[in-house]
Structure 1
């Protein structure tokens, strides 16, 4: 039982670390994004060099996706993948389900914002641009906003996993206590 707890704590630490790395990458990407002054105009054509925000945005996306997958794997393994014979199978708590839905909504929004901001941070060549042959600069706060969505997503995923763990462990404790009495 204790090995399971240490493994769970290690996984939680890993998920939190990835979430924090993603958040920090978002903050750094915000400070490194291209500015309007960086744009060069040649008649109607524009050029925008690649900014360092591109690599930090990619790092934030990778860390977020891995953290979300691992966090949801923990939830699934403790919540839905138990054997049918196991009487300690947890019922779907409404609070845990609400946190899980919140986690996925924030995850989706963060991925959309990060993907768009990261894509705009690539080099935009003369006549190519980002969209419709026009150059676009990432607005202020896009990366910071996605960073806060990352934090909410990871926190909601961890809350879901903690609710499912505590529900299962509570049922196990009650079952063991009933056998002792």
Structure 2
């Protein structure tokens, strides 16, 4: 039953399980990507502007992946809670929150994969720079 923006309907246990599974998988994917990508941090705007192109790209993808994670996780949790057994009363209309949350998970992936790739490239680039700038011991 619908009335303006309010809706009364029975929750779906299958949708609850799928929403909870999607939220857990999103958290795992985000955690793994951030652990493997490491911390490529920039502490100020000046440091960002002086950074290499790879580092700037890494930081940009990291920020967008966190934004995508926050939006996707929020939508999945709201959609999942709307389908929990304890919410058999009327509430604000929330059609398609789980499906939009799923789409946002893919968008999150579109930022997380390039983050990992650019973080790896940044680390290699910095390692090469350190090797090239360090003087060799024993040679004059």
- Does TM-score exceed 0.5, indicating one fold? yes
2:80 is the alignment partner of 1:118 = yes
Query: Which residue does 1:96 correspond to in 2?
Result: 58
Q: What is the rounded CA distance, in whole Å, between the counterparts of 1:124 and 1:137 in structure 2?
A: 17
Q: In structure 2, what is the equivalent of residue 28 of structure 1?
A: none
Equivalent residues in 2 for 1:129-148 (5 A)?
A: 129=89, 134-135=90-91, 138-139=94-95, 141-148=96-103
Report the CA distance between 1:136 and its aligned residue.
5.7
Q: Distance in 2 between matches of 1:49 and 1:93?
A: 46
Q: Is the 8 A contact 1:120 1:137 kept in 2?
A: no
Decide whether the 8 Å contact of 2:68 with 2:108 is kept in 1.
yes
- Structure 1, unaligned runs of 5 or more: 1-35, 40-45, 81-89
Which residue does 2:125 correspond to in 1? 170
**Paired residues of 1:121 and 1:137 also in contact (CA < 8 A):** no
Match of residue 58 from structure 1? 20
Number of paired residues? 120
Task: Tell me the TM-score normalized by structure 2.
Answer: 0.68
Unmatched runs of 5 consecutive residues or more in structure 2:
3-7, 42-50, 136-140
Structure ranking higher on relative contact order (CA contacts 8 Å, 6+ apart): 2
